[in-house]
Amino acid sequence: MVPDLDVIGFAFGVRYGDLWGHRGMTHSVFFAVGLGALSTVALSYEDRSWPAFLFLFLSTLSHPMMDALTDGGLGVALFAPFSKNRYFFAWRPLAVPPIGIRPFFSAWGWYVLKSEIRWIWLPSALVFGAARAVKSLL
């Protein structure tokens, strides 16, 4: 959820399409590398490792990848600060969620939640369950 802290910028006049606007810099590969590195350094000395960094980097990067699957907004600045271009994937099955807490508790928020259950939560649960089943067989 860290990448979505960029919405704070709205209160300070940062426009949606700016580099530091919503789905801008905090949704880039560059940011994911930086946050992954900082998070790894914050771990205890014994836990600092390439696998830990890779996990934290990919966890951060998964957020903009999911946002690139949504059906609204201006796209994701995956290559910021090196490129101002914003991207979506060709296949965009996820309903774009409303910005803010109050709008999320609406008919549109419920529609978004059903979309995320279908396209994110259920497939993730299936992969998790299959991995657990395979692990128990080994």
Q: Where are the domains of the chain?
A: 1-92, 95-138
pLDDT at 100: 78
Residue 45 has pLDDT above 90, yes or no: no
For residue 40, give every residue at least 6 positions away whose Cβ sits within 8 Å of its Cβ, in sequence order, or none.
48, 49, 52, 53, 56
pLDDT at 54: 96
Residue type, 53: F
Summarised one tens digit per residue, pLDDT across range 68-114 is 999 999 999 999 999 999 999 999 999 998 887 888 889 999 999 99
pLDDT at 87: 97
Summarised one tens digit per residue, pLDDT across range 24-41 is 999 999 999 999 999 999
Q: What is the mean pLDDT of the chain?
A: 94
What are the φ/ψ torsions at residue 25 (nearest 5 degrees)?
Answer: -55, -40
Alpha-carbon distance of 99 to 109, in angstroms, equals: 10
Residue type, 134: V
Alpha-carbon distance of 63 to 41, in angstroms, equals: 21
pTM: 0.85
**What Å distances lie between residue 112 and 8, 66, 75, 102, CA to CA?**
22, 13, 17, 14
